[in-house]
Amino acid sequence: MLFLVRMDVQIPHDLPAAEADEIKAREKAYSQDLQRQGKWQALYRVVGEYANYSLFDVESNDELHTLLSALPLFPYMKIHVTPLAKHPSSIR
């Protein structure tokens, strides 16, 4: 199942920099592992924002929820999920 996910990160300004850096390092490692597994298919930065659009290919809604809620930055994110279906005019 394919999902387009927009993640807007909102780290509190009063979070100590060292703690924020540690969370971001864990986030990077986790996201890269999911990319290597093929579950996180694409990751694009939104220009001028602390946000991204990502494409996930997972078995179910529940799997996606589990993966997203395990993101180290999850407590600081606003997430919008859009389920995708193959377009009949697509040649891919």
- Based on the structure, what is the number of domains in the chain? 1
Domain assignment of residue 32, yes or no: yes
Q: What is the CATH number of the domain that holds 70?
A: 3.30.70.1060
Residue 91 lies in a domain: no
d(CA 55, CA 26): 20
Element holding 21 (H helix, E strand): helix 17-37
pTM of the model: 0.92
In a domain, 90, yes or no: no
Joined tokens for residue 47: 């220009």
Q: Which domain holds residue 63?
A: 2-84
Closest to 52 measured CA to CA, from 4, 6, 11, 3: 6
Taking residue 73's Cβ as centre, other Cβ atoms within 10 Å add up to: 19
- pLDDT tens per residue, range 7-64: 999 999 999 999 999 999 999 999 999 999 999 999 999 999 999 999 999 999 999 9
The token pair that represents 26 in the structure block: 């864990």
Is 46 a member of any domain? Answer: yes
Question: Encoding tokens for residue 19?
Answer: 């703690």
35 within a domain of the structure (yes/no): yes
Residue 89 within any structural domain of the chain? no
For 68-87, the pLDDT digits (tens) are 999 999 999 999 999 999 99
